[in-house]
Chains A and B, each alone.
Chain A
Amino acid sequence: MQPTIHNLLRLPKLSYQKRLWLLLLPYLLGILLLVLIPAAISFSLAFFRYDALSPPVWVGTLNFILAYTDELFTLSVHNAVSLVILPVPLRVFGAFLLARLLLRNGRFLNWFRAAVYLPSIIPGAAYALAWLWILNPLFGPVNLLLKAVGLTAPNWFIDPLWARPSLILMSLWQIGEGFLVSLAALQDIPADLEDAAAMDGANSYQMLWHVTLPLLAPILLLLSFRDAVLTFQESFTSVLLTTGGGPYYTTYTLPLFIYEQGFDLLSFGTASAALWVMYLLTGLIVLFLYIIARQWQIGTTDETFVL
């Protein structure tokens, strides 16, 4: 294409294979400098007192004790878990069902798919403001709709009982990634497999439950793990802009605790201790999902790695 640039970058003494590694270098270096090293430091800071001003001081498990005795911390753990454990299966399974519904040919298929993806494109901050309006107790369209059909309209984000369900509800519209991955995975399933099942007299429900779902289990599991990690983190933007952790700390979650400890109080050690807890919890949640998924008795095949 541009011979001059290619000539400039041509390193004549290297073999083709070594030059391939050279192309991989920005990625590997970036992972090391921007992900692996920062993550390692983050996790080890849990054992130090560190305020970014004076050098870190080893304090052993003090940060964990500090975090554990902080009432806000235990509350934030509880809130964060309840904001992950219910929506993640809902989101992943919902994305899968939508992908199944929009898999085969039909009129305007691409437009239907685009519509499902559309909410995922909205910037997080705009999305949070939009839902603050949609679920506005007095003027929001959802409550006007509920009142119009004669149902009681909750106060959503303002009500301590409804604040968490509101956050879960708004997260159900942003499932674009899971939808696309499920769609791609479903398209990879050979059609004759389902034809064979249909020949054996399986109805569409049996097909879904005994053929399609087990085949997709490894990918859905991977998606669940990623979704759990992402939800923990992405709930931050929506919580900060919709409820700010309130009312009465009912939506005060771990990311909010970590953010305040680190960036408001400059107590990076406590923030890191909380991080450990968060990561272990994510692991536990996924283990829980894995045990459920094991009932399909599907191992991780090579296909998972391709995705």
Chain B
Amino acid sequence: MKHSSSRVIFALRLLVLVLFLLPVLWMITASLHPQGVPLSQKLHLLPQRVTLENYVRVWQLVPIGRYTFNSLIVVGTAVPLTIVTSSWAGFSMAQLPHAAQRRLVLLSLIVLMVPGIALWSTRFLIFKYLGWHDSYLALIAPAWMGTSPFYVLMFYRAFRRVPTAIYDAARLDGAGVLQSWGSVALPIARPTAIGVGLLSFIFYWGDFISPLLYLSSERQYTLPIALQLLQQLGRSDWPLLMAAAVMATAVPVILFLLAQPAFHKS
């Protein structure tokens, strides 16, 4: 009896697995379809002839190297900055008096509920005033506040689980705030740090709205905008569009798979 129910659960899980893998699988198979060969009107697992030429064509059509470089710069600065600022905030919150903790958690929740659209035009005006408009700075800006209160709360949750005796011991040893953050708390919260790093990577890598609103010169464009450009160039060249989509998706997916074991602990 028990055995059969666990089999049903396993079958259900398999079904879920297939269902959630389908979008990515279909993206990949479409990207392998040769150019010029009409798309099939019958369902195949793979195109009759598999080719990688669409990936080459993406490079020929738009300066995808430049856009990838821009995306890497944004991610390369924003993600480390996010980990530092959000873990600082979480670390600090976890050790403040209880009344302050409650108020800060409440503030974080309120900020989480502010819709991004409410910030579009005023952030645009502020960035213009600061001269950050049309530069990486506008894209990286949220990293100064830990990107999202959600990440701060994740760190807060992790640091609160650390027994206070450990912080006290570090303090007795003469460690300052930064020292106990860097060499005591952060190593304990490693899974959370990896989780926040991954989530913020996904956010900055896929961010379509900030570059759309705050960038005006093509040199600064990031990958998501490149996808929009390609779509405008060839609306129905599906193999090409899917190749570009796969390229933009591959980096976060590879990172996600690498960070998998640590991610599940956080």
Are chains A and B native binding partners rather than an unrelated pairing? yes
Interface residues, chain A, CB within 8 Å of chain B?
1, 5-6, 9-10, 16-17, 19-24, 26-31, 33-39, 41-43, 45, 52, 98, 101-102, 106-107, 110-127, 129-134, 136, 138-139, 141, 144-145, 148, 173, 222, 225-226, 229, 232-233, 236-237, 241, 254-255, 258-259, 262-263, 268, 271-272, 275, 278-279, 282, 305-307
Q: Do B23 and A21 touch across chains, with their CB atoms under 8 A apart?
A: no
Q: Which of B31-60 contact A (CB under 8 A)?
A: 39-43
Chain A residues with CB under 8 A of B86: 27
Q: From residue A237, how far is it (CB to closest CB) to chain B in Å?
A: 5
Q: Do B85 and A241 touch across chains, with their CB atoms under 8 A apart?
A: no
Q: Do B85 and A114 touch across chains, with their CB atoms under 8 A apart?
A: no
Give the most central of B12, B114, B121, B149: most A CB within 10 Å: B121
Cα of A117 to Cα of B174 in the assembled complex, Å: 43
Neighbour of B228 across the interface among A116, A125, A144, A259, CB < 8 A: A125
Q: Do B27 and A130 touch across chains, with their CB atoms under 8 A apart?
A: yes
Chain B residues with CB under 8 A of A305: 102, 105-106, 109
Q: Do A229 and B113 touch across chains, with their CB atoms under 8 A apart?
A: yes
Q: Which residue of A lies closest to B38 (CB)?
A: A139
Chain A residues with CB under 8 A of B9: 101, 106
Q: Do A26 and B224 touch across chains, with their CB atoms under 8 A apart?
A: no
Cα of A38 to Cα of B149 in the assembled complex, Å: 16
Cα of A34 to Cα of B248 in the assembled complex, Å: 28
Q: From residue A274, how far is it (CB to closest CB) to chain B in Å?
A: 9
Q: Do B202 and A101 touch across chains, with their CB atoms under 8 A apart?
A: no
Q: Which residue of A lies closest to B84 (CB)?
A: A26
Chain B residues with CB under 8 A of A28: 89
Q: From residue B93, how far is it (CB to closest CB) to chain A in Å?
A: 7
Whether A262 touches B10, Cβ cut-off 8 Å, given contacts A126-B249, A129-B231, is no
Whether A19 touches B176, Cβ cut-off 8 Å, given contacts A27-B89, A124-B208, is yes
CB-based A-B contact count at 8 angstroms: 267
1/0 contact trace for B233-266 toward A, CB 8 Å?
Answer: 0000010011011101100110011001100100
Chain B residues with CB under 8 A of A52: 125
At the interface, yes or no: B166 with Cβ under 8 Å from chain A? Answer: no
Neighbour of A129 across the interface among B142, B241, B264, CB < 8 A: B241
Q: Do B208 and A144 touch across chains, with their CB atoms under 8 A apart?
A: no
Please classify the interface of chain B as helix (H, G, I), strand (E, B), loop, or mixed, using the class held by over half of its residues.
Answer: helix
Given A1-B182, A23-B88, A241-B228, 19 new contacts (CB under 8 A): A17-B96, A19-B176, A23-B89, A35-B114, A36-B114, A106-B9, A121-B256, A122-B23, A122-B24, A122-B253, A125-B245, A125-B248, A129-B242, A131-B23, A134-B26, A241-B231, A255-B117, A305-B106, A307-B153
Q: Do B142 and A122 touch across chains, with their CB atoms under 8 A apart?
A: no
Q: Do A43 and B118 touch across chains, with their CB atoms under 8 A apart?
A: yes
Q: Do B115 and A130 touch across chains, with their CB atoms under 8 A apart?
A: no
27 contacts between A and B (CB under 8 A): A23-B88, A26-B144, A26-B145, A27-B88, A30-B85, A30-B146, A31-B145, A35-B145, A107-B10, A110-B260, A115-B20, A116-B16, A119-B23, A121-B252, A121-B256, A123-B223, A123-B227, A123-B249, A125-B228, A127-B245, A136-B238, A138-B39, A144-B43, A226-B112, A258-B117, A305-B105, A307-B153
Interface residues, chain B, CB within 8 Å of chain A?
6, 9-10, 12-13, 16-17, 20-21, 23-24, 26-27, 30, 39-43, 85-86, 88-89, 91-93, 95-96, 102, 104-107, 109, 111-126, 141-142, 144-146, 149, 152-153, 157, 160, 171, 176-179, 181-183, 202, 205-206, 208-209, 213, 223-225, 227-228, 231, 238, 241-242, 244-246, 248-249, 252-253, 256-257, 260-261, 264
Q: Do B121 and A42 touch across chains, with their CB atoms under 8 A apart?
A: yes
Please classify the interface of chain A as helix (H, G, I), strand (E, B), loop, or mixed, using the class held by over half of its residues.
Answer: helix
Q: Do B178 and A6 touch across chains, with their CB atoms under 8 A apart?
A: yes
Cα of A61 to Cα of B249 in the assembled complex, Å: 45
Chain A residues with CB under 8 A of B249: 121-123, 126
Chain A residues with CB under 8 A of B42: 144, 148
Q: Do B260 and A114 touch across chains, with their CB atoms under 8 A apart?
A: yes
Cα of A282 to Cα of B149 in the assembled complex, Å: 20
- Would you list the 9 A-B pairs with minimal beta carbon distance, nearest first? A30-B145, A123-B206, A27-B89, A38-B122, A126-B245, A125-B224, A23-B88, A144-B43, A19-B177
Q: From residue A113, how far is it (CB to closest CB) to chain B in Å?
A: 7
Q: Do B256 and A30 touch across chains, with their CB atoms under 8 A apart?
A: no
Whether A275 touches B224, Cβ cut-off 8 Å, given contacts A16-B177, A34-B142, A126-B245, is no
Q: Do A34 and B141 touch across chains, with their CB atoms under 8 A apart?
A: yes
Chain B residues with CB under 8 A of A129: 227, 231, 241-242, 244-245
Q: Do B93 and A24 touch across chains, with their CB atoms under 8 A apart?
A: yes
Neighbour of A101 across the interface among B12, B41, B104, CB < 8 A: B12
Chain B residues with CB under 8 A of A123: 202, 205-206, 208, 223-224, 227, 248-249, 252
Q: From residue A198, how far is it (CB to closest CB) to chain B in Å?
A: 13
Chain B residues with CB under 8 A of A229: 113-115
Q: Which residue of A lies closest to B145 (CB)?
A: A30
